[in-house]
Each structure stands twice: as structure tokens, then as C-alpha cells.
Amino acid sequence: MTEPARRLQLLTRQGCHLCVTAAETLTRLAGEAGLPVELVDVDADVELQAEYGDRVPVVLLDGREHSHFTVDVLRLRRDLGTG
């Protein structure tokens, strides 16, 4: 039986400089793991904006919050099995 594909998302918003940096870092790390990164604009979804709007960027791994404000590189590599 194979494991389900990992899902890596970055919750972001327009005009967020931390989001730009996080997207660059996450894209690089996701590439190491052979995964795509899904960018999600929190302002396009009322529920996401209410839950995460004041602490973007937020990294979600398999639908669960992994880190926010910055990408926890060491932890993410460990959790993706690339480091």
C-alpha cells in the first residue's frame, strides 16, 4: 500500500514581504522533495482570513499548520524526509 501524496500549501496575501520570502524558501524545499507548492490567498476566503489573516505566511503540510511567519526549514526537511 502506498502513502498518500503529501500536500504543501502556503497561505499568503498580496503585498506581504514575508510571504514572498516564504514562497521562495518553500518552493526550493518542495523541489527537493519533488512536491508542488499551492499558494493560497487568505483574502480570497473569508474563513481562511478569519483564522490565519493576522499571521501570514502560514505553511500547511497535509492540511495541518506547520509554521507561520517564517518557514521552519529544518523541521520541514525532516517532515518531508529530505534532511
Domain annotation for the chain: domains and CATH numbers: 8-71 (3.40.30.10)
User: For residue range 38-58, what is the model confidence (pLDDT) as tens digits?
Assistant: 999 999 999 999 999 899 999
Has this prediction a pTM greater than 0.75?
Answer: yes
Please give the Cα distance from 30 to 35 (Å, whole number): 5
Residue 5's pLDDT is: 77
Tell me how far apart the 2 most distant CA atoms of the chain are, in Å. Answer: 43
**Size of the chain, expressed as the number of residues it contains:** 83
The pairing of strands 8-12 and 58-61 is antiparallel
Retrieve residue 71's grid coordinates. Answer: 518557514
Please report which confidence band the pLDDT of residue 25 belongs to, taking 50, 70 and 90 as the band edges: very high
Degrees, nearest 5: CA angle 18-81-10: 25
